[in-house]
Amino acid sequence: MNRLEPSQLKIDNELLDCTTSNYDFKYVLANNGWIMGGSNPLMDFAAADSKVYFRREVIIWGDCVKLRYGGQPSDCPFLWDHMAEYTKFSATHFHGFRIDNCHGTPIHVAEHLLNVARQVRPNLYVIAELFTGSEDVDNIFVKRLGIDSLVREAMSAPDCRELGRLIHRYGGEPIGSFPQCMKECSIIKEKRARALLTDATHDNEPPLTKRTVWNVLPNMCIVTMASCAIASNRGYDELVPHYIDVVNEERLYAPFKEESNACAHAVSMEDGLLGVRKVLNELHIKMAEENFSEIYVDQVNNDVITITRHSPLTRQSFIMVTNSAFTERSGPYNQIVSPIAVSGEIEEVLLVAYLVLEESDSSSNERRRSLLSTNRVLSNFKRDKNFINGIKEVKVCLQTHLQVNDHNIKMFQSSSFVENGALKTLVYVTPENFIPGSVFIIKTKVSAEAEKALKSLTLPLNKNDLLLNSIKELSLIELNFILFRCAREEEVEESGNSTYYVPNFGSLTYAGLQGFITVLKNIALTNDLGHPLCTNLRQGLWAAGYIINRLSRYKWSKKLGHVVKELLMLLSHIPYFLVPCYFYLLLMQLWDLLLLHAFSLMSVFIQKGDDFTQNLALVSLQMVGSLKSIACRDPSLPPQNDVDLSITMAAGLPHFCVGFMRTWGRDTFISLRGLLLLTGRYAEARSLIIGFAGTIRHGLIPNLLDSSRNSRYNCRDAVWFWLQAIQEYCKLSNEGENFLKAKIHRLYPSDDIKKYRKQDRYIFSGNEYANIELHDLIHYVLQEHARGIHFEEWGAGVNLDSNMLKEGFKIDISLNSETGLIQGGNAFNCGTWMDKMGEESIINSHCLNSNVYTDYQLRPNICIAMVVAPELFVRNHAIACLENMESVLLGHYGMKTLDPEDWAYRGDYNNDNDTYDPSVAKGANYHQGPEWIWTLGYFLRALLIFHSGKSETTSKVLRILQAHRWAIKASDWLFH
């Protein structure tokens, strides 16, 4: 610490009698040390404003002095310059630094000195002893100082389980990890700092004083198996049973016998653990050089642990099994260990080792156990006066590089067998020979069959001609089945089958491949091998069987199913722990090829679009499909020969996708431009337009189609979205205005209910059905609106709608001759999108008495008119209106359906609300504030129309859509 002036000591006289004038304050020093808990490791506790010394919070080291550097070199130039020269000198002679008590070193000082050192040695290896109590704070030190490894101590583990956790935590990637090359991208996140794992450090108590004498060998072997830097000290290897004081110890280690200055006390590789250390170090280097980068730790019981190091390149493994013996047990000496399953076959027994006393009878395990008493060994130890010495009587019985059938191997036996096409080996530990302190390491390899399967699994699928040809034959409607279909669709269409169920996770979102892909992509991004789906895949090939069976159901999918079966069945031949990553590899490639094919069948706009555009296009595959149970027209009704009327569009997943709730006229034609026309799916768009055209009655298309059986004609705006879709189709498709000549087979040529007979549907009883060209049908629709539309829905009553009151079945639509606008509806039905159907329990005076003010409420509907008929608007007025909507109605994802300042605004929608509040009960506030996403599309299109040619408008639109880009990637319903 710098010299303190008396004036700087702002302490009460009771604490320090400053009247002792004979103190020379230039010699006042403070010991260095550390602070236990609660302190901020980023603060310099020797700074002028620190009080930790005066509060006696520092646990001091009596052999060193704390230096006060200040905040910058100018605060103490001599000290900074002196330490910089010392650092340069050290960097000249050493390849690496160990920063002791790094958390007690001012971080700005360490940063400066390491920068000086790296000027001399750019590749300086820096390790640090860092105990901040927080990984986040650790990472601050690591990043600012460029620390390569943090010292982690195996001796800090209180038991075998905790030691296994340390190895798993710092010892490498989990076995069977998803390789980086398999991932489209990786989440950028902070990683745990790399470790330098020590079996014992130089300045702590040796293991013999904290554990048992038997534990020293297992502890060493366990640390060796970690896939990180490891370290030890010579005292550990020579079984020194006492603390070595690195400051006060004056003795040296004895020389080795091979050295020129060898003496009577010289040590050899047969002493202590030196011989086995050499073998283990060679193994650790080999595993690092040959990329045995993956690890699996299995805590068999309280004492027995197995650690596997695996190479993702060669698929070879080193497996260590040890009886750790943390404590001396008074119970049974011989432990029964369940057979250890090994994927593949044992190639070599690398090491078999255990501890014995030099004079013991190695054939008597019980005698050996009694002799290897830690207290007995320690009591017999005598400290040499001249050299640091260890326990000489404890020896390692070591065998290396044995064949598995060698009769000298007493510790275990093994047998191999084939299970479900994969070769496996069981290792049976011999209890009477697997004594405390025992360890063996085996090297395994996959079978020839597994190696062949792995080679086939790594072949790119885009070179598989059989697969490519089977994919080319698929239509977009067929891809809806292969990729998607939610649970309700699958259950209705496939006789009770549903999406794949994963124990401890739940059912997947889709029955198609997307259901697996969504989950697997998230797993791969985070390498979450503990996910229940990975567990399910390791336990059996049920997921593969589900996919194969599903693709084999239909004639058109069997060709693809056969190729996929051959690929997925390769998984049965590989080690079980590799199944998740190769299952993912196969499905990802297959999924990519199917998507490429899907986009090739769409418009150039989609094919050349960015990922967000293509994500939106995939919604077209999600929503549009052919279901046997619900079609655009029931097969028993007269067909429309030139279109496929089996195609329908789901109004939403999962609640509006089956039965009479699947196909809504309004929703279909609001979505038709984006899902079918811009994607180039003109045939499907044409089918839906004509399919609904054939059901027109009273000048309206159905709100609920229900396969044209019990259609509902209770909305007045659906037909206008249908008309707009026709106009869009004529503009965008090659058929153009010739489409207006398309023949429409009308199911309801008359609006007179008396001309129809009712069974489960209304069937025309006349002589023939009407055939009319589309343009004449359009004229009929407009003419009916001009005349006025007044009727009661056919079949009105509880059988048609149990929630609707009698007045709700009455449809009244008329033309306002002064404005030219269509008007009508009542409080009891939902004639337009902005209406919410009333129920008897929520009707009150507010919804019965309409006021003209409601025509002036700020809502997003006006954007629809701006887009379809911009010529009706004065440009400056339209721009002002859009600016107002942006500031008031624009939400995070959609447009609020009502001005939040309006008295009727209720922003939170809950259809399950069963309270007595009429403004929200039964979801009455459906369009009284909650955001709707589809209206945002019209708002953005209106911006581009009335701000055409302005680059800042395009930037604004892209900025608004940024939230949707992230939302669609995070959604379980679509992840591309």
Closest by alpha carbon to 54, among 66, 46, 62?
Answer: 46
Annotation marks residue 203 as catalytic: yes
In this structure, what token pair is assigned to residue 692?
A: 């609904």
Mark out the alpha helices in 201-345 (DSSP H runs).
216-224, 234-237, 274-289
User: 672: buried, middle or exposed (CB in 10 Å: 19+, 13-18, 0-12)?
Assistant: buried
Handedness of CA 379, 380, 386, 388 (dihedral sign): negative
Residue with tokens 């999918």: 557
Task: Identify whether 654 is preceded by a cis peptide bond (ω within 30 of 0).
Answer: yes
* Cα(593)–Cα(573) distance, integer angstroms: 25
pLDDT at 878: 95
Give 184's DSSP letter.
Answer: S
Type of residue at 686: R
Contact yes or no for 338/300 (Cβ under 8 A): yes
Give 440's DSSP letter.
Answer: E
Q: What is the 3-state secondary structure (H, E, C) of 686-745?
A: HHHHHHHHCCCECCECCCECHHHCCCECCCCCHHHHHHHHHHHHHHHCCCHHHHHHCEEE
Contact yes or no for 805/826 (Cβ under 8 A): no
Q: What is the mean pLDDT of each run of 10 residues along the chain (976 residues)?
A: 43 46 68 77 82 84 84 92 96 94 88 96 93 83 92 89 89 84 56 87 83 90 93 92 86 82 78 92 95 92 91 93 78 68 90 81 53 75 90 89 87 81 81 87 92 93 95 95 93 87 95 94 89 94 96 93 96 92 95 96 96 93 89 74 83 88 92 96 94 92 86 90 97 96 90 79 68 93 94 86 84 89 81 62 38 77 94 94 95 94 91 88 87 95 89 92 90 68
Annotation marks residue 103 as catalytic: yes
In this structure, what token pair is assigned to residue 2?
A: 């710098």
Give pairs for 177-186: CB < 8 Å, separation 24+: 177/294, 177/312, 177/527, 177/529, 177/581, 178/523, 178/524, 178/527, 178/580, 178/581, 178/584, 179/312, 179/581, 182/524, 182/581, 182/584, 182/585, 182/588, 183/524, 183/525, 184/521, 185/525, 186/525
Contact yes or no for 420/380 (Cβ under 8 A): no
Mark out the alpha helices in 358-399 (DSSP H runs).
365-371, 374-380
* Cα(266)–Cα(273) distance, integer angstroms: 15
Contacts of 596 (CB under 8 A, 6+ apart): none
- To the nearest 10 degrees (0 to 180), the angle between helices 274-289 and 216-224 is 20
* Cα(311)–Cα(907) distance, integer angstroms: 56
Distances (CA, A) of 699 to 55, 550, 739, 747: 90, 43, 20, 13
Closest by alpha carbon to 70, among 51, 50, 91, 56?
Answer: 50
Distances (CA, A) of 657 to 197, 429, 513, 662, 826: 56, 57, 19, 4, 28
Distances (CA, A) of 509 to 447, 479, 506, 591, 737: 37, 16, 9, 16, 41
In the chain, how long is the greatest CA-to-CA distance?
Answer: 128
pLDDT at 95: 96
pLDDT at 57: 85
Question: Which residue in 44, 103, 717, 785 is the catalytic one?
Answer: 103
pLDDT at 845: 33
Contact yes or no for 208/374 (Cβ under 8 A): yes
Q: Nearest-5° angle of CA 646, CA 785, CA 673? A: 40
* Cα(580)–Cα(582) distance, integer angstroms: 6
Question: Which residue in 100, 159, 592, 812 is the catalytic one?
Answer: 100
Exposure pattern of 373-412 as b/e (b: 16+ CB <10 Å)?
A: ebeebeeebeeeeebbbbbebbbbebbbebebeeeebebb
* Cα(41)–Cα(437) distance, integer angstroms: 39
Type of residue at 823: Q
Distances (CA, A) of 295 to 217, 228, 311, 577: 20, 11, 9, 11
Closest by alpha carbon to 618, among 962, 971, 954?
Answer: 971
Contact yes or no for 341/295 (Cβ under 8 A): no
* Cα(221)–Cα(324) distance, integer angstroms: 10
List beta partners, residue 394.
357
Distances (CA, A) of 141 to 35, 129, 137, 505: 17, 11, 7, 38
Question: Which residue in 81, 203, 245, 776 is the catalytic one?
Answer: 203
Phi, psi of 749 (to 5 degrees): -70, -10
Instruction: Give how far the C-alpha of residue 761 lies from the chain's centroid of Cα atoms, to the nearest Å.
Output: 49
In this structure, what token pair is assigned to residue 94?
A: 């050493």
Coil vs helix vs strand at 232: coil
In this structure, what token pair is assigned to residue 968?
A: 């669609």
pTM over 0.85: no
User: 532: buried, middle or exposed (CB in 10 Å: 19+, 13-18, 0-12)?
Assistant: middle
